[in-house]
Homo-oligomer: A and B are copies of this chain.
Amino acid sequence: MQKVLQDLINKNRKWTQNGNLADYIPELENVDPSILGISIFGLNGELYTAGDYQYKFTLQSITKVITLMVALMENGVDEVFQYVGMEPTGDPFNSIVKLETIKPSKPLNPMINAGAIATVSLIEGTAEERFFKIIDLIRKMTGNDRISYNDKVYQSENATGDLNRALAYYMKNYGIIKGNIEEHLEVYFKQSSIEVTSMDVAKIGAVMANDGKLISSNEQLIPAGIVRIAKTFMITCGMYNASGEFALKVGIPAKSGVGGGILALAPKQFGIGVIGPALDDKGNSIGGVKLLEELSRERQLTIF
């Protein structure tokens, strides 16, 4: 496997030249675009890595998967889906249009910004406590206690996050979100800014591939039913407006972030962490998607 991954990195690094770095905050722009790395963590505990697998990046939208699981564990399925929908959308991840044109103004799913903000709002506690619940789950899934958030990225996101503010206030107006918007956004921006390597992400994927049980101890960290919900959303809406194409071409649960990371997994087999900050026009890691496409084809990973 080690050699397979090394070959995949070598063959696919060229694609990074066709991508662009996220430009909406300076921290994401000042990055070497040719970075490409992958880690795979098997349910048997084996770790395979290649390329820039040690490169540190912020999770960005990838955390939406974790936050959804935290909210579901805390509130139950019925409560959460009163405030956020279950349906994929053909609109951009930061779109506000459907909040006006579909009533009630419930965001279509928890993988778009509006839906993730609504999900964050359902977690109880002070901003600090709420953020801790999210990062704590990530630390447990990865077994990595040193995981923290990147304050510079957080400050940047907070300073430039007026589109997310607009989404939040719009939903507040229609009762989808309650409470203090700035507090919700603090949690939302901080969880986006959690910093990891591809190895951490592979470990997150492995716990999900293991139906919520820790690899080391087999302890059921997250109920299997909740992991299943998260995996389903990863299939139907995990890769922004290229989720359908990814399902056809790769066919495994995956969630990308504009930091260039991708969380993916082969059920019952292994978790995958990918990093490649050069993005395609949909906002997904351009090299990362190519790499996963080839890996899936070679190993026949598709669930379809």
Contacts and interface: CB of A to CB of B under 8 A. Distances in A.
Interface stretch (A195-203, A242-250, A284-292): A242-250
A108 B244 CA distance: 10
Most chain B beta-carbon neighbours within 10 Å: one of A87, A109, A167, A231: A87
Contact of A235 (B86, B228, B235): B235
Interface in A224-241: 228-229, 231-233, 235-237, 241
A228 B232 CA distance: 17
A203 B117 CA distance: 44
A210 to B, nearest CB: 14
A86 B304 contact: no
A86 B166 contact: no
A88 B243 contact: yes
A267 B244 CA distance: 20
Contacts of A233: 244, 248
Contacts of A302: 228
A4 to B, nearest CB: 22
Nearest to A99: B96
A55 interface: no
Nearest to A242: B87
A1 to B, nearest CB: 24
A87 B86 CA distance: 16
A228 B304 contact: yes
Given A90-B88, A90-B108, A101-B97, A304 B231 contact: yes
A170 B96 contact: yes
Interface string A31-47: 00000000000000000
B166 A244 contact: no
Interface residues of A, number: 49
Contacts of A87: 88, 90, 241-245
Interface in A83-132: 85-91, 95-102, 108-109
A136 B12 CA distance: 43
Contact of A89 (B85, B88, B95): B88
A218 to B, nearest CB: 20
B235 A304 contact: yes
Nearest to A245: B86
A212 interface: no
Contact of A236 (B91, B100, B166, B236): B236
A165 interface: yes
Interface string A245-269: 1011001010000000000000100
Contact of A166 (B166, B228, B241): B166
A244 B88 contact: yes
A186 to B, nearest CB: 15
Interface in A51-108: 85-91, 95-102, 108
Given A162-B173, A233-B244, 6 more contacts: A87-B90, A97-B100, A235-B235, A235-B247, A236-B243, A267-B304
